[in-house]
């Protein structure tokens, strides 16, 4: 068996042919009309009003944090999330609290979350939907409403996951997606930030490209508050910002991949169901939130032994030539970044458990049902 973490075939031969023809027959390849078309098509697929294509999911998170940052604000993240959720919080000098997770859906532990909301005003919950499992619950939404918490969603590993038949990315004021090579679909590098809020959308447009007035829709540019006689409207800078644009070339690949996304998700979910349908639940934890009202969009296959023999699992995977990784960031509070930056945290019992007791293997176009059932049979031998 040879099983890589990521496929070598995420970009099909037809994709390559389309890109080649596009390069040969196009002049300007930077951000242009193809980016706009990809943003429109992505918004239709997700079911949101506005999408802004950027150069990575990490940049999408950066724009969200910068657009929403306020003084005396507290941001709450799961303690095992990816570093690009917490880095923008630190960079904007905002208070950060890392929360323990629920092993059922990898969302924040709700009793800890309520305690945080009770003790801190002006909270933002940066909710990560890990590995294709939706972290939205009615209880979590109720807590956010009760304490007037701003909810934003990181969906970079969970394109198409749903709660009550609504795709994740539609529950908060903004959401981020990644099109990195190893994710459900790819633009090689790239990401999307999405929202239904028009003013927030305008801020994302400004933040993406130097804060320039000309990045805004023409009807917004014509507003009286954006009229500056002393400045040329072609080079008028409205606010501090970045350059995190992508290109028409990347967007062209996204337009080719998007029609296949739903079928890719279903293929991944078929592997997921076969793997955990075969794996011994007396030996491995996999009581995840994947049945109604939740909808799975499997990113990978986590392996969590109940008897603590993770090293044996790693050795088996090595012998079978199956590539693996630890659970996302493990316990982020143990990483060097938090030796030099202040970090508040809850009791991280479940995060610690996963830090020392979980690996995952890839679930992608090269993985099939026979492979996952064979792996499950091998794991069941422990």
- Residue 229 confidence (pLDDT) above 90: no
Q: Structural domains in the chain?
A: 13-259 (3.40.640.10), 261-379 (3.90.1150.10)
pLDDT at 54: 98
Residue-averaged pLDDT of the chain: 95
pLDDT at 52: 98
pTM metric for this prediction: 0.96
pLDDT at 329: 85
pLDDT at 338: 87
Mean pLDDT of 304-329: 93
Q: Measure Cα distances from 254 to 44, 164, 208, 236, 238 in Å.
A: 14, 27, 19, 31, 30
| Rounded Cα distance, 163 and 295, in Å | 6
Torsional sign, CA 129, 131, 132, 137: negative
pLDDT at 306: 94
Strand partners, 305: 284
Mean pLDDT of 110-121: 96
Burial of 167 (0-12, 13-18, 19+ CB in 10 A): buried
Q: Which tokens belong to 35?
A: 């980016």
pLDDT band at 234 (very low <50, low <70, confident <90, very high): confident
Q: Which tokens belong to 16?
A: 């390559």
| Rounded Cα distance, 161 and 183, in Å | 13
| Rounded Cα distance, 234 and 237, in Å | 9
SS (H, E, C) 317-332: HHHCCECEEECCCCCH
> What DSSP character marks residue 149?
P
Greatest pairwise CA separation for the chain in angstroms: 76
Q: Which tokens belong to 305?
A: 């032994």
Q: Which of 277, 365, 334, 342 is nearest to 74 (CA)?
A: 342
Q: Which tokens belong to 49?
A: 């009003």
3-state DSSP call for residue 278? helix
Say what percent of the chain tops pLDDT 90. Answer: 92
Q: Measure Cα distances from 304 to 102, 270, 279, 347, 369 in Å.
A: 14, 20, 11, 20, 20
Mean pLDDT of 282-305: 96
- Residue 277 confidence (pLDDT) above 80: yes
3-state helix, strand, coil in the chain (%, to 5): 40, 20, 40
Better-scored residue on pLDDT, 227 or 352: 352
Span 43-69, pLDDT tens digits: 999 999 999 999 999 999 999 999 999
3-state DSSP call for residue 362? strand
pLDDT at 27: 86
3-state DSSP call for residue 295? strand
Strand partners, 52: 193
Mean pLDDT of 188-194: 97
Span 337-363, pLDDT tens digits: 888 777 799 999 999 999 999 999 999
| Rounded Cα distance, 120 and 105, in Å | 25
| Rounded Cα distance, 160 and 149, in Å | 24
């Amino acid at each position: 068996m040879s099983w890589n973490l990521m496929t070598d075939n995420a970009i099909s031969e037809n994709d390559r042919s389309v890109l080649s023809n596009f390069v040969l027959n196009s002049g300007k390849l930077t951000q242009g009309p193809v980016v706009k078309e990809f943003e429109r098509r992505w918004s239709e697929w997700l079911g949101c009003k506005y999408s802004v294509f950027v150069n990575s999911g990490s940049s999408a998170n950066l724009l969200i944090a910068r657009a929403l940052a306020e003084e005396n604000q507290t941001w709450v993240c799961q303690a095992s999330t990816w570093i690009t959720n917490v880095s923008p919080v630190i960079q904007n000098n905002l208070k950060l609290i890392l929360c323990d997770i629920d092993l059922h859906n990898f969302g924040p532990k709700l009793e800890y979350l309520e305690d945080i909301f009770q003790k801190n005003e002006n909270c933002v919950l940066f909710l990560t939907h890990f590995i294709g499992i939706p972290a939205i619950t009615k209880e979590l939404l109720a807590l956010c409403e009760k304490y007037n918490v701003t909810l934003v969603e990181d969906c970079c590993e969970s394109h198409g996951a749903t709660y009550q038949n609504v795709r994740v990315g539609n529950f908060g004021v903004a959401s981020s997606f990644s099109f990195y090579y190893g994710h459900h679909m790819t633009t090689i590098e790239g990401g999307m930030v999405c929202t239904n809020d028009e003013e927030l959308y305008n801020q994302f447009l400004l933040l993406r490209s130097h804060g320039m007035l000309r990045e805004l829709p023409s009807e917004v540019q014509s507003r009286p508050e954006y009229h500056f006689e002393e400045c040329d409207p072609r080079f008028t800078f409205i606010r501090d910002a970045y350059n995190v644009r992508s290109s028409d070339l990347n967007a062209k690949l996204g337009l080719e991949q998007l029609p296949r996304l739903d079928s890719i998700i279903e293929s991944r979910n078929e592997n997921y169901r076969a793997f955990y349908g075969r794996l011994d639940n007396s030996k491995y934890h996999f009581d995840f939130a994947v049945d109604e009202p939740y909808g799975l969009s499997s990113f990978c296959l986590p392996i969590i032994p109940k008897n603590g023999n993770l090293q044996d699992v790693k050795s088996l995977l090595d012998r079978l030539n199956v590539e693996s990784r630890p659970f996302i960031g493990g316990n982020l509070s143990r990483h060097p970044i938090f030796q030099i930056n202040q970090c508040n945290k809850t009791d991280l019992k479940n995060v610690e458990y996963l830090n020392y007791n979980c690996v995952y293997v890839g679930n992608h176009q090269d993985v099939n049902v026979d492979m996952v059932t064979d792996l499950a049979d091998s794991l069941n031998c422990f």
